[in-house]
Amino acid sequence: MMIPLLFATFLVNFPHQLAQSNANNGLIRIAAVLGASVLPVGLAAGPRYVPKWKKQACEIPASQHPNSHYICDEAGEVKCLPGWTGDLCDVPICRKGCDPLQGYCRRPGECRCKLGFYGELCDKCVALPGCQHGRCNVSFECSCDPGWKGMFCSEPICAPDCLSSQGYCDKPGDCRCRFGWQGPKCKQCAVLPGCVHGTCQGPLECRCDPGWTGLLCQTPICAQGCSRDHGSCRQPNTCRCRVGWTGPNCTECVPYPGCVHGSCKRPWECRCEPGWAGDLCNEKLTYCDEHLDICRNNATCISMTHEDGDYRCICPLSYMGRQCQIKTMIPSVELVPPMPDVTMELSQDVQDLGDKPSIEEISNEDNKHGEKPPKKEEQTAEPLGPIVITDPPITSTADPAATAGKWPIEEPTTERDDENET
C-alpha cells in the first residue's frame, strides 16, 4: 500500500552550514548553506514526524556546538533556548511590540529600528531633516502643523489681509508692520519720526498741515505782514510781538514809559514833538508864544530848547533865512531839445548866502553891543552862475556849499540804529 506524500518549499535562514542529509527512504532531503536556502521538505502523513537533523543534532556532543541556541531533552529532541525560535533555534525573539516591518533584532529582547524609523518599538517615523513645525506619516516627510508653511514648515501663516509687502509675522495669526507702516493690517503709512503737524501718503513722509512749515512741520506760518524781525507766532495766522514792539504786525515801536508828547523810532525812545522838551517830552516850550512875531511872512514858529537856538522858523515858498525875512526869486527854467542824455539848463539868480548869518542875526548881535544894523539896501549878495543839470547823471556847476538858509533837518538814522531796531 502506497503512502500519499505532501510537498512544501520554505525559505529559512540558517546560521550554520550543515552537511546534506538524505533519508534512506528518499522522502526527506535538507540542504543548508550559510545564508538563505530553499528547503524542499517532504512531509509524510501519519504519526508526528521529527526531522532527522534534530536527532543527529542531539547525537553531536554539546562541546562541538557551543554557540547553538538549543538543548536536547531526555527523549533526545531539540528544545530551543528561551528567546530563540525557528526550526534551527537561530531566530531571536524581539522585544514585545517591536514593529515587525520597521524594526528587527539580533538578540532576544532587542528592537533595532530600520533607516527612517525610531522609538523603543520603532513605531515612529523620522521627519525630513530641518523640519521645524511639522511631522511625518512616512519616513523623511515634513507635513506642516496648522498655521505653518514651507518646505521645512518654518514660515508662519500671518493674519488674513496682512499685506506681505508691508507686514510680516513671527507666529501664526500675527501681523507685525515693517518700518514705515502701521495699523492692524499694516495698510497705513507712518509719518517721519518727529513730524509734529503733518501727515503722510507714503512711508516716512511729513506733509505739513495748512498753516505749518519746516522739515518736521513744527514751524507755524504767522499772519500775513507780521514782521520777521519784531514778531513771531506759536499758532498759524497769529503775530506775537517781541519786547519793545507793538501793532497788528509788530512794526510799531513802544516809546519809553511815561512819554507824553513824543514818539519813537526804536523801542524805549521818547523823541519829543515840536514845542516839547524833557526826558518824557512833558515840558512845553513857550518861546514862540512869547515872541509871536519872531518868524516873518506867515512862517511857522517852532519853539526849541535854548541849546538848539530857542526857536526855528518854517518858511513858506519863496522865503528863506532864520526868520524867513529874505525873499527869493523863482528860477527860470529853459528846456533844451532832447539829447541822448537829457539835459536841462537852468539859469537862475540866487543870492549867495552860504553860511553867512542873516541880516536879522547881525541886527540882533549889533543891538546887544549897542551898534546899529546895516541898511536894507546893503542886504545884497552876488548871484550864482547858471546851473546845468543832466539826467542821468546829475552834474552841477554850482558851489555845493551854497545853501538857502537853515532848514529843520531830521537827525539821520545810523547803522547802529538799524541794528537796534532788528
Task: pLDDT band for 289, please (50, 70, 90 cuts).
Answer: confident
pLDDT of residue 206: 95
Query: For the residues 129-152, what does the mean pLDDT come to?
Result: 92
Q: How far apart are CA 302 and CA 319, in angstroms?
A: 17
In a domain, 178, yes or no: no
Range(s) of the domain holding residue 63: 52-124
The helix/strand/coil state of 363 is helix
pLDDT over 90 at 259, yes or no:
yes
In a domain, 106, yes or no: yes
The answer to whether residues 350 and 404 touch, using CB atoms and an 8 Å cutoff, is yes
Percent pLDDT > 70 in the chain is 64
Task: pLDDT band for 404, please (50, 70, 90 cuts).
Answer: very low
CATH number at residue 90: 2.10.25.10
pLDDT of residue 242: 94
Structural domain total, the chain? 2
In a domain, 194, yes or no: no
In a domain, 85, yes or no: yes
Task: pLDDT band for 310, please (50, 70, 90 cuts).
Answer: confident
pLDDT over 50 at 390, yes or no:
no
Of 124, 157, 187, at which residue does a domain stop?
A: 124
In a domain, 319, yes or no: yes
pLDDT over 90 at 200, yes or no:
yes
Contacts 24+ apart (CB under 8 A), 76-81: 77/50, 78/54
Handedness of CA 140, 146, 149, 155 (dihedral sign): negative
For 145, 286, 361, the CA distances from 311, given in Å and listed in that order, are: 108, 9, 13
pLDDT of residue 9: 32
Task: pLDDT band for 93, please (50, 70, 90 cuts).
Answer: very high
pLDDT over 90 at 150, yes or no:
yes
DSSP 273: P
pLDDT of residue 330: 65
Query: For the residues 60-81, what does the mean pLDDT come to?
Result: 77
Query: For the residues 229-253, what does the mean pLDDT come to?
Result: 94
pLDDT of residue 347: 35
In a domain, 79, yes or no: yes
The answer to whether residues 353 and 381 touch, using CB atoms and an 8 Å cutoff, is yes
pLDDT of residue 56: 72
In a domain, 75, yes or no: yes
Q: Please give the full DSSP string across 74-123, using - where no structure is assigned.
A: TTS-EEEPTTEESTTS-EEPPPTT--TTTEE-SSTT--EEPTTEESTTS-
Angle, vertex CA 414, rays to CA 411 and CA 415, nearest 5? 165
Of 330, 355, 383, at which residue does a domain stop?
A: 330
User: What are the pLDDT digits (tens) for 315-367?
Assistant: 999 899 999 999 987 664 554 555 544 333 333 333 343 444 444 444 444 44
In a domain, 107, yes or no: yes
Task: pLDDT band for 284, please (50, 70, 90 cuts).
Answer: confident
- When mean pLDDT is compared over 54-63, 150-159, 326-335, 404-413, the highest value belongs to 150-159
Confidence (pTM): 0.39
pLDDT of residue 292: 82
Among 23-27, 43-47, 407-411, the range scoring the smallest mean pLDDT is: 23-27
The answer to whether residues 78 and 54 touch, using CB atoms and an 8 Å cutoff, is yes
Of 124, 142, 161, at which residue does a domain stop?
A: 124
